[in-house]
Amino acid sequence: MSEHVFSDLLVIDCASFIAGPAAAAILSDFGARVIKIEEPKAGDRYRDLILMRDPSGGTIDYFWTLDGRNKESLAIDLHKAEAQAVLRRLVARADVFITNFPFATREELGVTAEALMAINPRLIYASMTPYGEEGPERDRTAYDTTGWWARSGLMAMTRDNGDAPYGHPVVGMGDHPTAVSMYAAIVTALYRRQATGQGGVAATSLIANGLWSNSCQVQAALCDIELTPRGPRGKRTPLSESFRCADGRELLLGMSNSLKEWPFFCDALGHPEWKTDPRFESYRARMANAAALVAVMEDVFITRPYAEWRDVLDAAGVTFSIVAEVTDHPNDMQLYANGLLPDIVDGLGLKTVDSPFKILDEPKVEPRMAPMLGQHTRALLEELGCGPDEIAALAG
Q: Do 205 and 130 touch, CB atoms closer than 8 A? A: yes
pLDDT above 60 (res 345): yes
Distance set, CA 205 to CA 72, 84, 91, 108, 180 (Å): 26, 26, 23, 21, 11
CATH number of the domain encompassing residue 179: 3.40.50.10540
With respect to residue 307, please indicate whether it lies within any of the assigned structural domains.
Answer: yes
pLDDT in tens, 211-268: 999 999 999 999 999 988 788 899 999 999 999 999 999 999 999 988 899 999 999 9
178-181 contacts: CB < 8 A, separation 24 or more? 178/19, 178/128, 178/144, 178/148, 178/204, 178/205, 178/206, 178/209, 179/18, 179/19, 179/20, 179/21, 179/22, 179/23, 179/25, 179/26, 180/23, 180/26, 180/355, 180/356, 180/357, 181/208, 181/209, 181/212
Residue 119 sits in the same domain as residue 55: yes
pLDDT band (50, 70, 90) for residue 279: very high
Domain edge (last residue) among 294, 327, 360: 327
Check residue 195 and give its pLDDT: 97
In this structure, are 120 and 256 located in the same domain? no
- Examine the domain organization and report whether 54 and 95 are in the same domain: yes
Residue type, 41: K
Residues 139 and 248 in one domain: no
How much of the chain exceeds pLDDT 90, in percent? 90
* Residue 296 shares a structural domain with residue 148: no
Task: Tell me which amino acid residue 356 is.
Answer: P
Nearest to 261 by CA among 275, 273, 250: 275
Cα 28 from Cα 376, distance rounded (Å): 16
What is d(CA 319, CA 240) in angstroms, rounded to the nearest whole number? 10
What CATH number does the domain containing 285 carry? 3.30.1540.10
**What pLDDT, in 10s, does the model give residues 22-43?**
999 999 999 999 999 999 999 9
Q: 233 lies in a domain?
A: no
Query: Same domain for 280 and 381?
Result: no
Reported as a single tens digit per residue, the pLDDT across 66-119 is 999 999 999 999 999 999 999 999 999 999 999 999 999 999 999 999 999 999
| Strand intervals (E) in 216-370 | 242-244, 250-253, 320-322
Q: Are residues 95 and 165 in the same domain?
A: yes
Residue 337 lies in a domain: no
Residue 189 lies in a domain: yes
How many domains, in total, are found in the chain? 2
- Grade residue 1 by pLDDT with cuts at 50, 70 and 90: very low
pLDDT attached to residue 2 = 64
Q: Is the pLDDT of residue 348 over 60?
A: yes
Final residue in a domain of this structure, among 287, 304, 327: 327
Q: What is the mean pLDDT of the chain?
A: 95
Percent of the chain exceeding pLDDT 70 equals: 99
Q: How far apart (Å, rounded) are the C-alpha atoms in residues 270 and 318? A: 14
**Among candidate residues 327, 360, 382, the one where a domain is terminated:** 327
Statement to judge: residues 39 and 142 lie in one domain: yes
Altogether, the residues listed in the chain come to a count of: 396
In a 10 Å sphere around its CB, with 0-12 CB exposed, 13-18 middle and 19+ buried, how is residue 357 labelled? exposed
16 lies in some domain:
yes
Residue at 58 is within a domain? yes
- Within a domain: 336: no
Per-residue confidence (pLDDT) for residue 346, from 0 to 100 = 87
DSSP 365: P
Q: Are residues 387 and 243 in the same domain?
A: no
Classify residue 101: in a domain, yes or no: yes
Do 117 and 35 share a structural domain? yes
- Based on the domain organization, do 85 and 175 belong to the same domain? yes
Q: Is the pLDDT of residue 342 over 60?
A: yes
User: 19 and 126, same structural domain?
Assistant: yes
> What are 133-192's pLDDT values in tens digits?
999 999 999 999 999 999 999 999 998 877 889 999 999 999 999 999 999 999 999 999
Range of the domain at 271: 238-327
- Spatial CA neighbour of 178 closest among 148, 200, 201: 148
Q: What residues contact 315, with CB distance under 8 A and at least 6 apart?
A: 268
